[in-house]
């Protein structure tokens, strides 16, 4: 089994064995980030370009750190000071960057399908989707899977409740696809206006009632109310949204006593999650961020296939 030379555009690109390989490789890379010298020579001589057309704190930093910790050369392409500001198209931007022979391009874009378009036009480089519109965010689902496995030892048979703005969430889509492949029982829950008709086709159970979603849940994944993608009013007020769908101590009692609370970030504190749930004993939110570096190291390593031996 090899991911060498492939693109990672969607969780659909991966089978169960490949997901397990990424998680196993990520586990082996975690320790590097705790060493006094956080660097191994594994990807020396490889070049990674990060192109983020949308804001990012976690994904962009962790891809850059992942590349640097593996000794790859990481270039952060600054969209606002690039010729994109003069109207250069995505395809022309990609083809010009491609002419500089990067081994891998990481791209985030507000339009679903932009990374796939780049992959079609940039022959010779691997492309990773770091989030495209409302479509997918595959490395987020992989780092979430790693975090769940660390706490629960498995994915199969777990009840995972994904709560909030499902409609606009690429994280929800990638997680639903991954969790279905790994045989978890996934529930999605949110106001009817933020839950697209037909979402059952992702292999999930759909409810608008928090109690039903959270009862006996092993994992609770909150999603941000994505105000930048909401052109209409989807709920009467944040106060009402928070009362019905915000996670707090009262609603947490429906879940299993050892349930974990996750959030991909950034958090709207006081809306989808209160302070106590975001920072308290149930929360593994910052572990997700740490696992983001290891997971992206694993993906870079496996796609660039420097050697079967990571040299760590
Ligand atoms: N989880 C996530 O994608 O966060 P950023 O938008 O900060 O990258």
pLDDT digits (tens, 9 = 90+) for 65-81: 999 999 999 999 988 88
- Domain-embedded: residue 310: no
The CA distance from 129 to 135, in Å, is: 10
149 and 102 co-located in one domain: no
Output the pLDDT for position 229: 61
275 and 157 co-located in one domain: yes
Judge whether 137 counts as a catalytic residue: yes
pTM confidence score: 0.95
128 and 157 co-located in one domain: no
The CA distance from 53 to 125, in Å, is: 19
Which H or E run contains 206? strand 205-207
- Domain-embedded: residue 309: no
Peptide bond into 230 cis (omega under 30): no
282 and 294 co-located in one domain: no
145 and 275 co-located in one domain: yes
Output the pLDDT for position 270: 93
248 and 266 co-located in one domain: yes
216 and 296 co-located in one domain: no
Output the pLDDT for position 178: 98
Output the pLDDT for position 158: 98
Query: Could you tell me the distance, in angstroms and rounded to a whole number, from the CA of residue 220 to the centre of ligand 1?
Result: 18
213 and 230 co-located in one domain: yes
- Domain-embedded: residue 149: yes
pLDDT surpasses 80 at 6: yes
Strand 219-222 versus strand 159-163 pairing type:
parallel
- Domain-embedded: residue 2: no
pLDDT surpasses 70 at 232: no
**pLDDT band at 228; cut points 50, 70, 90:** low
- pLDDT tens by residue, 19-62: 999 999 999 999 999 999 999 999 999 999 999 999 999 999 99
**pLDDT band at 235; cut points 50, 70, 90:** confident
- Domain-embedded: residue 178: yes
- pLDDT tens by residue, 126-138: 999 999 999 999 9
% of the chain beyond a pLDDT of 70: 96
- pLDDT tens by residue, 112-122: 999 999 999 98
29 and 125 co-located in one domain: yes
CATH classification at residue 203: 3.40.50.1370
pLDDT surpasses 80 at 209: yes
Judge whether 58 counts as a catalytic residue: yes
Average pLDDT over residues 78-94: 92
Q: Which residues contact 125 (CB under 8 A, 6 or more apart)?
A: 98, 102, 103, 104, 105
List 86, 101, 123, 250, catalytic entry: 86
- pLDDT tens by residue, 169-179: 999 999 999 99
The preferred substitution site among 53, 56, 134, 227 for testing ligand 1, maximizing ligand atoms within 8 Å of CB, is 56
Domain count, the chain: 2
Our answer on whether the CB atom of 292 is closer than 6 Å to any ligand 1 atom is no
183 and 272 co-located in one domain: yes
144 and 274 co-located in one domain: yes
% of the chain beyond a pLDDT of 90: 88
8 A C-beta contact, residue 122 and residue 150: no
Judge whether 108 counts as a catalytic residue: yes
- Domain-embedded: residue 4: no
Q: What range does the domain containing 80 cover?
A: 11-136+289-303
- Domain-embedded: residue 148: yes
171 and 197 co-located in one domain: yes
Q: What is the DSSP string of 4-70?
A: TT--B--GGG--HHHHHHHHHHHHHHHGGGGSSS---STTTT-EEEEEESS--SHHHHHHHHHHHHT
Our answer on whether the CB atom of 10 is closer than 6 Å to any ligand 1 atom is no
Output the pLDDT for position 231: 60
Query: Could you tell me the distance, in angstroms and rounded to a whole number, from the CA of residue 137 to the centre of ligand 1?
Result: 9
pLDDT surpasses 80 at 226: no
Our answer on whether the CB atom of 265 is closer than 6 Å to any ligand 1 atom is yes
- pLDDT tens by residue, 252-310: 999 999 999 999 999 999 999 999 999 999 999 999 999 999 999 999 999 998 555 55
The preferred substitution site among 131, 268, 287, 290 for testing ligand 1, maximizing ligand atoms within 8 Å of CB, is 131
Query: Could you tell me the distance, in angstroms and rounded to a whole number, from the CA of residue 222 to the centre of ligand 1?
Result: 14
Our answer on whether the CB atom of 169 is closer than 6 Å to any ligand 1 atom is no
Mean pLDDT of the chain: 94
- Domain-embedded: residue 6: no
Query: Could you tell me the distance, in angstroms and rounded to a whole number, from the CA of residue 221 to the centre of ligand 1?
Result: 14
């Amino acid at each position: 089994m090899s991911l060498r030379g492939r693109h990672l555009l969607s969780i659909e690109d991966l089978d169960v064995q490949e997901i397990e390989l990424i998680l196993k490789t990520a586990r082996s890379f975690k320790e590097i980030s705790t060493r006094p010298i956080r660097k191994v020579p594994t990807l020396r001589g490889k070049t990674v370009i990060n192109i983020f057309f949308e804001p990012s704190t976690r994904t962009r930093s962790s891809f850059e750190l992942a590349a640097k910790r593996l000794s790859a050369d990481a270039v952060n392409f600054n969209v606002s000071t690039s010729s994109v500001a003069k109207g250069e198209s995505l395809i022309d931007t990609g083809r010009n960057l491609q002419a500089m022979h990067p081994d891998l391009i990481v791209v985030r874009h507000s339009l679903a399908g932009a990374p796939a378009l780049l992959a079609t036009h940039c022959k010779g480089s691997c492309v990773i989707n770091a989030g495209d519109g409302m479509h997918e965010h595959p490395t987020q689902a992989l780092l979430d899977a790693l975090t769940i496995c660390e706490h629960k030892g498995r994915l199969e048979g777990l009840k995972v409740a994904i709560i909030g703005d499902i409609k606009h969430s690429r994280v929800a889509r990638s997680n639903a696809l991954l969790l279905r492949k790994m045989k978890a029982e996934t529930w999605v829950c949110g106001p009817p206006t933020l839950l697209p008709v037909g979402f059952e086709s992702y292999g999930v159970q759909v409810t608008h009632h928090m109690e039903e979603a959270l009862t006996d849940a092993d994992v609770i994944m909150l999603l941000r109310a994505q105000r930048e993608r909401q052109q209409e009013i989807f709920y009467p007020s944040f106060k009402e949204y928070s009362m019905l769908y915000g996670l707090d101590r009262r609603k947490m009692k429906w879940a299993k006593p050892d349930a974990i609370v996750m959030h991909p970030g950034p958090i709207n504190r006081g809306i989808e999650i209160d302070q106590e749930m975001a920072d308290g004993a149930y929360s593994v939110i910052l572990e997700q961020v740490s696992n983001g570096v290891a997971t992206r190291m694993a993906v870079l390593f496996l796609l660039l296939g420097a050697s079967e031996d990571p040299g760590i």
